[in-house]
Amino acid sequence: MQVEKTILEGCYIIHDTFFGDHRGYFFESFNRNTFLEKTGLAVDFVQDNQSSSQRGVLRGLHFQHGEFSQAKLVRVLKGKVLDVAVDLRRSSPTYGRHVAVELSEDSRTQFFVPRGFAHGFVVLSEQAVFFYKCDNYYHKAAEGGVIYNDPALAIDWQLDQSELILSEKDTILTPLQDIESTLKF
């Protein structure tokens, strides 16, 4: 496992070591001890989630507040996505900044998003299967979000607006500026 720091403290791109031969491949997708050694973070994942989406589906930008905030380790099992994390930690020097990482079944790269971040992704391939581990359980009352096209964030989702497919919930999220006083990170 190789760990690459991003411009946002606590966000890491993880390049897994694959062993392949004529039968296929094998890799260890997560090892708590190795993760701790490489990042200094002791993360205990308690929930795994998986979604399947077609090209243009944009899910995000989501987060959970306070004691229910979640760290996530995300990867793509099939297809390709652009994965985005936005720093919502008001005391952070990178507050309001984001990092975008292309994840695919071919790159075999994972992305670690710590607590205190909004997270989302858009599907760039015809279909994508997205998998993520969370260190806290989902709690509906603690959920929040930032609108994907917030001009202050200036995220390049790599697709034309006309190609995007969003849930009704994601279309009515608000800009970061409108919720920053309510953030509990």
What proportion of the chain, given as a percentage, has pLDDT over 90?
A: 89
Catalytic pick among 62, 98, 119, 148: 62
- The correct CATH number of 43-182 out of 2.60.40.1180, 2.60.120.10, 3.40.190.10, 3.30.300.170 is 2.60.120.10
pTM: 0.94
**Is 132 one of the catalytic residues?**
yes
User: At 35, which helix (H) or strand (E)?
Assistant: helix 32-39
153 HSE (CA, 13 A, CB side): 27
Which of 12, 98, 119, 132 is catalytic? The answer is 132
pLDDT band for position 99 (50/70/90)?
Answer: very high
In this structure, which long-range contacts are made by residues 162-167, counting pairs with CB atoms below 8 Å and at least 24 apart in sequence? 163/55, 163/56, 164/56, 164/58, 164/122, 165/54, 165/56, 165/57, 165/58, 166/57, 166/58, 167/59
Per-residue pLDDT of 5-56, as tens digits, reads 999 999 999 998 888 889 988 888 899 999 999 999 999 999 999 999 999 9
| pLDDT band of 170, cuts 50, 70, 90 | very high
Least confidently predicted of 21-30, 31-40, 81-90, 152-161: 21-30
Residue 61, preceding peptide bond in cis (omega within 30° of 0): yes
22 tagged catalytic: no
pLDDT at 57: 98
